[in-house]
Amino acid sequence: MYKRQLAALQQANRFIQYGAEILDIGGESTRPGSTPVTTEQELDRVIPVIQEISAAHPEIILSIDTYKARVAQSALQAGAHWINDIWALRADDDMGSVAARFGAGLILMHNRSQPSQVEVQSKLGGRYIGVEYQNLIRDVQDELMQSVSLAHAAGVADEKIILDPGIGFGKTVEQNLELIDRLDEICKLGYPVLLGPSRKGFIGYTLNLPPDQRMEGTAAAVAIGIDRGADIVRVHDVPEIVQVARMTDAIVRCRRE
């Protein structure tokens, strides 16, 4: 087994042991200011890993984090179950038909990322500045539902769709904070909602901390997100955040009952 595959399988084993139920596998960084990779590079990075994890853990949902239809199709053939498309079917016209053909779960993420609006600081990394919305929540809702319409037109079943408000993607620090606080309004669209705040720039710039010191800030964002209705959270610090998620969910469920 190659070193990359072995390392990925070992990390998957750890995450599953700590309580992860979904593993999101990606071969291209989507951080503000990151450099894109080719389709071939992405395939080389993700397909062997998906094959290994799928064989070792058939009970775990595997998500392929890509906006390229060819990568998504190969990943589904290799054992993935979901597509996590950060451009919500707006980067590759074939993505919706791939999801429909395989009956895959489809995560549609809101995204207004523009490289010209990225500011990078050496300690804190990238953030978006000067991003304007007429009405933040309504604009995110409308653009997510436009992607839902694209999915329906491609033949994706309604029950396969999951929405992601796109924390950190084309939103300022203040907009990210507001979006998490008002996540319940995204949940009102009627689809399961995934929240991915883990270690992101809005935490770093709020607390003046580099990425490797943002676990507590991530925990706060996750707790608020679950309180506001998030169904799935995407995180790096699995052991700690699993406990945060379970405790928050228990409190919220008790209140609602």
Distance CA 228, CA 197 (A): 14
Q: Which residues pair with 195 in a beta bridge?
A: 233
| Residue 190 burial (10 A CB sphere; 0-12, 13-18, 19+) | exposed
Residue 255 bears catalytic tag: no
Which is the catalytic residue, given 171, 199, 200, 214?
Answer: 200
Beta carbons of 241 and 218 less than 8 angstroms apart: yes
For CA atoms 228, 230, 236, 239, give the dihedral sign. Answer: positive
Alpha helices in the chain (DSSP H): 3-18, 39-56, 69-78, 95-102, 136-154, 173-181, 183-187, 201-207, 215-227, 238-256
Residue 234 bears catalytic tag: yes
Beta carbons of 222 and 197 less than 8 angstroms apart: yes
Q: Which residues pair with 65 in a beta bridge?
A: 26, 84
For CA atoms 93, 94, 97, 102, give the dihedral sign. Answer: negative
Instruction: At 193, list the tokens.
Output: 């909602």
Q: Which amino acid is at 39?
A: T
Catalytic residues: 200, 234
